Amino acid sequence: MDANVLKKAIEKFLHEDIGSGDITSEAIIPPEQTGKAEFVAKGTFVVCGMDSVAPAVFTAQNPAITIIHAEKDGAEASPGDILLQATGPVLDLLKAERVALNLVQRLSGIATLTARFVDRVKPLPVKILDTRKTTPGLRMLEKYAVRAGGGHNHRFNLSDGVLIKDNHIEASGSIQKAVSLVRGKIPHTMKIEVEASSMGEVRECLASCVDIIMLDNMDPVTMREAVKLAGGRALLEASGGVTLDNVRQVAETGVDYISIGALTHSAPACDISMRLLGV
Amino acid sequence: MDANVLKKAIEKFLHEDIGSGDITSEAIIPPEQTGKAEFVAKGTFVVCGMDSVAPAVFTAQNPAITIIHAEKDGAEASPGDILLQATGPVLDLLKAERVALNLVQRLSGIATLTARFVDRVKPLPVKILDTRKTTPGLRMLEKYAVRAGGGHNHRFNLSDGVLIKDNHIEASGSIQKAVSLVRGKIPHTMKIEVEASSMGEVRECLASCVDIIMLDNMDPVTMREAVKLAGGRALLEASGGVTLDNVRQVAETGVDYISIGALTHSAPACDISMRLLGV
Amino acid sequence: MDANVLKKAIEKFLHEDIGSGDITSEAIIPPEQTGKAEFVAKGTFVVCGMDSVAPAVFTAQNPAITIIHAEKDGAEASPGDILLQATGPVLDLLKAERVALNLVQRLSGIATLTARFVDRVKPLPVKILDTRKTTPGLRMLEKYAVRAGGGHNHRFNLSDGVLIKDNHIEASGSIQKAVSLVRGKIPHTMKIEVEASSMGEVRECLASCVDIIMLDNMDPVTMREAVKLAGGRALLEASGGVTLDNVRQVAETGVDYISIGALTHSAPACDISMRLLGV
Amino acid sequence: MDANVLKKAIEKFLHEDIGSGDITSEAIIPPEQTGKAEFVAKGTFVVCGMDSVAPAVFTAQNPAITIIHAEKDGAEASPGDILLQATGPVLDLLKAERVALNLVQRLSGIATLTARFVDRVKPLPVKILDTRKTTPGLRMLEKYAVRAGGGHNHRFNLSDGVLIKDNHIEASGSIQKAVSLVRGKIPHTMKIEVEASSMGEVRECLASCVDIIMLDNMDPVTMREAVKLAGGRALLEASGGVTLDNVRQVAETGVDYISIGALTHSAPACDISMRLLGV
Amino acid sequence: MDANVLKKAIEKFLHEDIGSGDITSEAIIPPEQTGKAEFVAKGTFVVCGMDSVAPAVFTAQNPAITIIHAEKDGAEASPGDILLQATGPVLDLLKAERVALNLVQRLSGIATLTARFVDRVKPLPVKILDTRKTTPGLRMLEKYAVRAGGGHNHRFNLSDGVLIKDNHIEASGSIQKAVSLVRGKIPHTMKIEVEASSMGEVRECLASCVDIIMLDNMDPVTMREAVKLAGGRALLEASGGVTLDNVRQVAETGVDYISIGALTHSAPACDISMRLLGV
Amino acid sequence: MDANVLKKAIEKFLHEDIGSGDITSEAIIPPEQTGKAEFVAKGTFVVCGMDSVAPAVFTAQNPAITIIHAEKDGAEASPGDILLQATGPVLDLLKAERVALNLVQRLSGIATLTARFVDRVKPLPVKILDTRKTTPGLRMLEKYAVRAGGGHNHRFNLSDGVLIKDNHIEASGSIQKAVSLVRGKIPHTMKIEVEASSMGEVRECLASCVDIIMLDNMDPVTMREAVKLAGGRALLEASGGVTLDNVRQVAETGVDYISIGALTHSAPACDISMRLLGV
């Protein structure tokens, strides 16, 4: 995650929340007053954003703010843990508070949910993946949170990874034709992934020498069969309908990856609050 | 929600997901091929974004896409309902798909959760409010979703509403001083809201003639007492720790508003999928 | 006024005036040459922008410029007063000169005109307000200048304050219907203001419990009557045709606010010049 | 004035005034309601912005708005004249109203003041010029207004014209050295203008073969002498302290140009109002 | 290449060349005058940009311009060929001329140079690749031109492809460690490419099961040896010092890819001119 | 070249090349690791961008990078020369490497080609000029490179210089009419240049008192005749078909300027590489 890209995004977020100014705080807090802000965990969760995003929010608001402590992203937090300490102008600590909290609460929520999925499949050699079902505008951050929780990332967007889906196959006539059209155009650094919803399609994929086969909404029995058939000739990714309840069963089929949209679209926020000292 | 503001936001979201192009679809789908896309409900929920956001996504991607049906925002959806129909170039329907779905799934999730809270307090004259605990970059849209679900909006950001919190009170010395400082600076079109966490502070607020008192994490008994004390001299807003389980109890205290951060920070996404016809 | 918002605006202004570079100065002044610039008052006026905007212009052009003196915004200036002193690279002092001067001359003009209105109504308890008749692109700054001159701000824009005007009333059928439609949609932190041009409309406004009534182009006799009728149940704002000659008469009617478009659309610029020392 | 550049600027202005939406109008006016807006002159002035800027504002807000009449920029307006007629969605006519009016009132003010200066010097062959003392963010538009009023433009910014001032001369040691440094660096399409505040400096300028000499705050007698001395070898521009009262006297000295900062920094706005029909 | 991304880039290019307006054409050509523009080949080359970029430039300048003929990208042009025909306002045809020509001349230059390399290696099964040595700001377009010339693209940027170079290997200690660090972090849709400058490093790469080995500045004999050693276990890319003179020799070593920076950093522009008819 | 304008451009270039992050380097290089980068010349050429652009790229990527040596722009480089030394975080040195190299290689290429043209015409008093045939997005930088190579700049864009071409002349009816239309509209700081392709047109230009005549694709004999005819009454610029082989012949005709599109559209990149020390 490049620091300059992060800063640009944060500047937009701060502007959304601050508008032309914080009319309450600017009327009350003198700009020269300094203090210390602390982020405190109000629950048990996997931290994300503390040593990366939150510091960037505070320093984007005012470079005079100093971060004196930040919990490592990916660490476990317990109620009462102090996750971040920052000192500087109180006015800017207050202005940056909500954006920083909104981000770390959401990112920690994603990291925490990811970690729960990862735990369920341990010690199987399967990897938990995110999807493109991220919040518009937050993809880079949410994919970072998935990594903080022990998961792995699928492609970032439509231009840096290939995924041939049913509509593509229909439009071109067959898996083989679709793969051939794509292979002629993409960088050699990219793999080709194709969605398959039946064993017949898995066979076609293997015949076309695709790199990854996405097993779309298959039942575990069929997945197991696909794993056997593939025999290492392609990576297999299970996708669709995976929950904390059934992820272990999916993992045990022997697939290499399990992708889960809920990691980013339905993780509840973690509870973190900010307290100001020495005001 | 202004159409131009919406369009600008959507252009950024599309760029995030499309990057320099959809390498899979562009390799396979000829630009002149047209088809029809349908959004289908996969569950029961309150719709949000169908007659506002999703059409804007499709036409931002390509103005040649025509929306031929869009369910009203705020309507109830049942599994199998067709929520949106759009026709145009298949390539652009596919490119816009994920951004459109990510948005309507999230917004419908917020509308649905809001509607559940609203239902719980019916027919009491209390209003369910959102907070600033929105996803960075999506505040305008998420606040729209709260309205679609029957809720009401709190201030948009730090510059268009006053909320005097504990840190402000501490910094200025007293509620009265904080209120007085703010009153001298803000537009006369704005009300003054002050956070109170005890009956003593409620009394101070009333003495300072504030317009709204936020009862911060008070228990129902104290809230009821505050309502009696205020006697209509100020609007009362309950805030903190409100859930579907306790919202009714809070509502029955007689407060005018209940603000709930979870509406926007923890609503799970609704399940909506897109199918392409005539490819 | 948030420093980051201010900086972004100033960067655009500098770019407008500098283009790809100052071809005259860059050909003549070596980048390492340093000097001192002073802003000098050429008249008597109320200063605005000296301890806020001008320093931001200089440091946006080059963070190596140091502000060693800046007159407080709102102070009175007399001919010959040194209002600002900055040291740093001469090349950047020259590049920033025109933008800084254009801003402080305009803002001081607005503050000065505002102060003249404020003086005329002293010691009456009425407040002088600005309007949305500001220069496009400069609203935040011009509203700041009104405050520096002792005035107060009306709403910032169409999304952070309600003003129901004749067209709205006509479109909805009556004041009561318009108010009711709006009340159902806006944040509870906002007041409702309605334009009234007759005593009949004032009565309707009071019946609809609006917070503020704008008395539109009323003569002083009618305004006085409206004040009596309202009896404190709504704030009253006089608007339309107010000049330095008649503002006292309007103020004496007992209205709470007088809004004056001319503060921002017709204030002549103050005369301030920059001199360079030690070049 | 390029249409795309104009549109980009206007989009920013609309966003400043509309924010996330017009909460009053959006609550009351249905989006499908159409009507007709008219701009009406409330005084006598030279029109600017009616067949250029105002149409661009309305169509930027909504391309569905149609302009059915627009007075030519530069025309004379009398009280009651209908200067513009536009039809389309009432909601968007209302949203665009203030930005459009703020612009045409200001631009007409500049055109009107310019025309008054131009009238005073008729039929002498001198040209009235603007300066860089424009409103930050509005230079292109304000310079257009000067032309609409019969004036001419000085350089647009620091990168597209040369003006060697006292500080440059001091820094380089002499007029001759400054001119020589600049001449070696600038495009051959640009002329060189040098500020002179004494006859000695005028002589130096002529010796250096500069194209234009700016006579800085000279009295008419000296200017007349400079005109005689130059004898057509350089263009002469009078600058500093020119008012409607003394512009004729300055013009009669025989200078080629008179530049006047007040054209853009101190022109009062013209009174123009919008009325809605058929709401 | 997504049309919206292209349009955004072109708007910036037009603004760079047009500034606040075309002062020559705007003074002479009435906006309502229409005409026809033709792009004519002045040499023999491979066309790029005619049915993609140039039309986008003209319609970005004015959507009222119609493209009535556009040569296919990748086609061969001979002197005198009419490559594009567009009709519309002459003023906008002239304003867009230079940006459109600058782009198609450069892109055709790249396509032409690429095609010459591709021809040299026919019918060997090797592919000619570009690099990241593109013109800043034009990468998407230049990579498109490489494809138009029959070449293939390497990764788009640092975030969508892995290339482990000597500095990475040194920093981590060994190829194996570097590969292992990267493998744990990247999406499974990406391949891993490692730079090798000796047979020893090729062996290490094979031992680490990398997907692609970049043979960095190797002589043909060593490359041939590397091909034999790899035996299909990894794709091989030759890189460094490849010219039209030696590309055949490199290709005959049996490598799968040859990457050539000169395709994008040193291709001379093709000669194309625009003529206006019916002015 | 203004530092702020340069920085803005560079931020976009870095974003193009880095995307959301350098996945290879971020996986391997710890952010705290520091080192030293050196740019080394791999050929003989005229340096451009070393003491201006490259430092700006490195500090835009990370202000913690320090430039400890930078060769002057315009200096001659020989193989092995160290042109730049920078120290700081290795991660950021690597991220900025490609953008910095792509820029200095291209700019040095332009400076070198320009210098070769300049050498050919020495010691004649003619100046070598660039054109608007620059790479879209890089005009400011490429024109800077032309100056570094000893050339001079033509106008920057369509709004800061006048060039009346054949289409303008045709549209207005005659050179005289076109000149007259333009003269009435442009700032007095600009010269008027007209394209002439015959002696008849040269005569018309002289009769219209234009400042500069562009001799368009004329043969040397005619140019010589034009020089004689003009006799110093206008500056003469030769344009069209000028190469290193014929530039001396053109120069000897006595024209004042020779403009050459190839300086910016067809200069091959210079070979410069970066090496990292102390990793």
- Residues A29-75 have pLDDT tens digits of 999 999 999 999 999 999 999 999 999 999 999 999 999 999 999 99
Instruction: Give the pLDDT confidence of F226-243 residue by residue, as tens digits.
Output: 999 999 999 999 999 999
Which of the four pLDDT bands, split at 50, 70 and 90, describes residue E278?
Answer: confident
How confident is the model at residue E165, as a pLDDT?
Answer: 96
Please state the rounded mean pLDDT for residues E211-240.
97
Which residue, among A47, A58, A48, has the nearest Cα to A11 in the 3D structure?
A58
Q: Assess whether pLDDT exceeds 80 at residue A177.
A: yes
Number of H helices, E strands in chain D: 11, 12
Task: Tell me the shortest Cα–Cα distance from E126 to chain A, in angstroms.
Answer: 12
Neighbours of chain D (3+ CB pairs under 8 A): B, C, E, F
Any idea which fold A123-265 has? TIM Barrel (3.20.20)
Q: If you write DSSP's letter for every residue of A27-80 in order, what string do you get?
A: HHS-TT-EEEEEEEE-S-EE--STTTHHHHHHHHH-TT-EEEEEPPTT-EE-TT
Instruction: Give the pLDDT confidence of C206-216 residue by residue, as tens digits.
Output: 999 999 999 99
Look up residue C137 and give its two tokens. 């692109």
pTM: 0.95
Q: Does the domain spanning B3-117+267-277 belong to CATH 3.90.1170.20?
A: yes
D81/A53 Cα distance (integer angstroms): 58
Which of the four pLDDT bands, split at 50, 70 and 90, describes residue E250?
Answer: very high
By annotation, the residues of E acting in catalysis are 98, 133, 165, 195, 216
Instruction: Give the pLDDT confidence of E50-101 residue by residue, as tens digits.
Output: 999 999 999 999 999 999 999 999 999 999 999 999 999 999 999 999 999 9
E104/F135 Cα distance (integer angstroms): 11
Residues of chain F with Cβ-Cβ distance to C60 below 8 Å are: 4
By annotation, the residues of C acting in catalysis are 98, 133, 165, 195, 216
Task: Tell me the shortest Cα–Cα distance from B214 to chain C, in angstroms.
Answer: 11
Which residue do the tokens 């700054």 mark? C141
Angle between helices F199-207 and F175-183 (to 10 degrees): 40
Phi-psi region of B202 (alpha: psi -120 to 50; beta: other; left: phi over 0): alpha
CATH 3.90.1170.20 occupies which residues in chain F?
Answer: 3-117+267-277
Indicate if B26 belongs to the active site.
Answer: no
Q: Which residue in B has a C-alpha nearest to residue C186's C-alpha?
A: B153
Distance of CA C11 to the CA centre of its chain: 21
Determine, for residues A21 and C1 on separate chains, whether the beta-carbon distance falls below 8 Å.
yes
Q: Assess whether pLDDT exceeds 70 at residue D279.
A: no
How confident is the model at residue C278, as a pLDDT?
Answer: 73
Which residue, among D165, D238, C235, E105, has the nearest Cα to F135 in the 3D structure?
E105
Question: What number is the ipTM of this complex?
Answer: 0.96
Cβ contact B117:B263 at 8 Å = yes
**Is A244 in a helix, a strand, or coil?**
coil
Q: How far apart are the first and last CA of chain E?
A: 34
Q: How far apart are the first and last CA of chain B?
A: 34
Of B129, B156, B188, the CB nearest to C160: B156
Task: Tell me the shortest Cα–Cα distance from F107 to chain D, in angstroms.
Answer: 18
Determine, for residues D156 and E20 on separate chains, whether the beta-carbon distance falls below 8 Å.
yes
Look up residue A58 and give its two tokens. 């505070």
Instruction: Give the pLDDT confidence of E13-25 residue by residue, as tens digits.
Output: 999 999 999 999 9
Which of the four pLDDT bands, split at 50, 70 and 90, describes residue C134?
Answer: very high
Which of D20, D65, D94 should one mutate to test binding to chain B, selecting the residue with the greatest count of B CBs within 10 A? Answer: D20
Q: Assess whether pLDDT exceeds 90 at residue E44.
A: yes
Question: Phi and psi of A72, rounded to 5°?
Answer: -70, 140
Residues of chain C with Cβ-Cβ distance to F5 below 8 Å are: 15, 18-21
Determine, for residues B2 and D18 on separate chains, whether the beta-carbon distance falls below 8 Å.
yes
Determine, for residues D61 and B140 on separate chains, whether the beta-carbon distance falls below 8 Å.
no
Instruction: Give the pLDDT confidence of D93-120 residue by residue, as tens digits.
Output: 999 999 999 999 999 999 999 999 999 9
Determine, for residues B190 and C185 on separate chains, whether the beta-carbon distance falls below 8 Å.
no
Which residue, among F25, F27, F13, F20, has the nearest Cα to F58 in the 3D structure?
F13
Task: Tell me the shortest Cα–Cα distance from A256 to chain E, in angstroms.
Answer: 10
Which residue, among C6, C112, C128, C96, has the nearest Cα to D266 in the 3D structure?
C112
Element (H, E) at C83: strand C82-89
Determine, for residues E4 and B14 on separate chains, whether the beta-carbon distance falls below 8 Å.
yes
Of E147, E162, E189, the CB nearest to A161: E189
Q: If you write DSSP's letter for every residue of B254-269 in order, what string do you get?
A: T-SEEE-THHHHSPPP
CATH 3.20.20.70 occupies which residues in chain F?
Answer: 123-265
Look up residue B4 and give its two tokens. 């131009």
How confident is the model at residue C1, as a pLDDT?
Answer: 87
Q: Omega of the bond prior to E123 within 30 degrees of 0, cis?
A: yes
Which of E15, E17, E23 should one mutate to test binding to chain F, selecting the residue with the greatest count of F CBs within 10 A? Answer: E23
Nearest 5 degrees, angle CA B204-CA B207-CA B209? 115
Distance of CA E127 to the CA centre of its chain: 14
Please state the rounded mean pLDDT for residues E151-161.
96
C86/C55 Cα distance (integer angstroms): 8
Task: Tell me the shortest Cα–Cα distance from A66 to chain C, in angstroms.
Answer: 18
Element (H, E) at C236: strand C235-239
Determine, for residues F189 and D155 on separate chains, whether the beta-carbon distance falls below 8 Å.
yes
The average confidence (pLDDT) of chain C is 96
Please state the rounded mean pLDDT for residues C81-107.
98
Which residue do the tokens 């986008």 mark? E56
Q: How far apart are the first and last CA of chain C?
A: 34
Q: Which residue in D has a C-alpha nearest to residue C169's C-alpha?
A: D28
E100/B46 Cα distance (integer angstroms): 49
Which of F22, F28, F38, F132 should one mutate to test binding to chain E, selecting the residue with the greatest count of E CBs within 10 A? Answer: F28
Residues of chain C with Cβ-Cβ distance to A20 below 8 Å are: 1-2, 5, 140, 156
Distance of CA F41 to the CA centre of its chain: 21
The average confidence (pLDDT) of chain E is 96
Burial letters E125-158, b for 16+ CB under 10 A, else e:
ebbbbbbbbbbbbbbbbbbbbbbbbbbbbbbbbb
The identity of residue B9, as a single letter, is: A
Q: Torsion angle of alpha carbons D158, D163, D165, D171, nearest 10°? A: 70
Determine, for residues B5 and D11 on separate chains, whether the beta-carbon distance falls below 8 Å.
no
Q: Give me the percent of chain C exceeding a pLDDT of 90.
A: 98
Q: Which residue stretches of chain B have pLDDT < 50?
A: none
In what order do the strands lie in the sheet containing E257-259? E127-129, E257-259, E235-239, E212-216, E192-196, E162-164
Determine, for residues E4 and B20 on separate chains, whether the beta-carbon distance falls below 8 Å.
no
Residues of chain C with Cβ-Cβ distance to F156 below 8 Å are: 19-20
Which of the four pLDDT bands, split at 50, 70 and 90, describes residue E279?
Answer: low
Q: Which residue in C has a C-alpha nearest to residue B213's C-alpha?
A: C189
Look up residue A233 and give its two tokens. 């000739």
Task: Tell me the shortest Cα–Cα distance from E140 to chain B, in angstroms.
Answer: 7
Which of the four pLDDT bands, split at 50, 70 and 90, describes residue A279?
Answer: low
Instruction: Give the pLDDT confidence of A124-163 residue by residue, as tens digits.
Output: 999 999 999 999 999 999 999 999 999 999 999 999 999 9
Q: If you write DSSP's letter for every residue of D74-127 in order, what string do you get?
A: T-EE-TT-EEEEEEEEHHHHHHHHHHHHHHHHHHHHHHHHHHHHHHHHTTSS-E
| Annotated catalytic residue within A98, A132, A147, A177 | A98
Residues of chain A with Cβ-Cβ distance to B167 below 8 Å are: 90, 94, 276, 279
Task: Tell me the shortest Cα–Cα distance from E127 to chain B, in angstroms.
Answer: 18
Nearest 5 degrees, angle CA D1-CA D7-CA D9? 90
Enumerate residues 6+ apart whose C-beta is below 8 A from B96.
Answer: B14, B57, B58, B60, B61, B62, B65
Residues of chain E with Cβ-Cβ distance to D156 below 8 Å are: 19-20
The identity of residue E131, as a single letter, is: T
Residues of chain A with Cβ-Cβ distance to E190 below 8 Å are: 161, 189-191
Residues of chain E with Cβ-Cβ distance to D5 below 8 Å are: 15, 18-21
Determine, for residues A21 and C4 on separate chains, whether the beta-carbon distance falls below 8 Å.
no
E39/A123 Cα distance (integer angstroms): 64
Question: Phi and psi of B67, rounded to 5°?
Answer: -90, 120
Q: Assess whether pLDDT exceeds 70 at residue F132.
A: yes
Residues of chain B with Cβ-Cβ distance to E3 below 8 Å are: 62
Instruction: Give the pLDDT confidence of A196-241 residue by residue, as tens digits.
Output: 999 999 999 999 999 999 999 999 999 999 999 999 999 999 999 9
Which residue do the tokens 């001369």 mark? D169
Rounded to a whole number of angstroms, the CA Rg of chain E reads: 22
Which residue do the tokens 């050295």 mark? D177
User: Which of the 8 DSSP states describes residue A198?
Assistant: S
Which of E10, E102, E197, E210 should one mutate to test binding to chain F, selecting the residue with the greatest count of F CBs within 10 A? Answer: E102
Determine, for residues E4 and B11 on separate chains, whether the beta-carbon distance falls below 8 Å.
yes
Cβ contact A253:A223 at 8 Å = yes
Residues of chain F with Cβ-Cβ distance to E240 below 8 Å are: none
Which residue, among E138, A3, A261, has the nearest Cα to F20 in the 3D structure?
A3
Determine, for residues C155 and B189 on separate chains, whether the beta-carbon distance falls below 8 Å.
yes
Determine, for residues B153 and C187 on separate chains, whether the beta-carbon distance falls below 8 Å.
yes
Which of E2, E138, E139, E144 should one mutate to test binding to chain B, selecting the residue with the greatest count of B CBs within 10 A? Answer: E2
A164 vs A130, A192, B59, B274, E155, CA distance in Å? Answer: 17, 8, 24, 16, 19
Which of the four pLDDT bands, split at 50, 70 and 90, describes residue F156?
Answer: very high
B47/B110 Cα distance (integer angstroms): 9
Which of the four pLDDT bands, split at 50, 70 and 90, describes residue F59?
Answer: very high
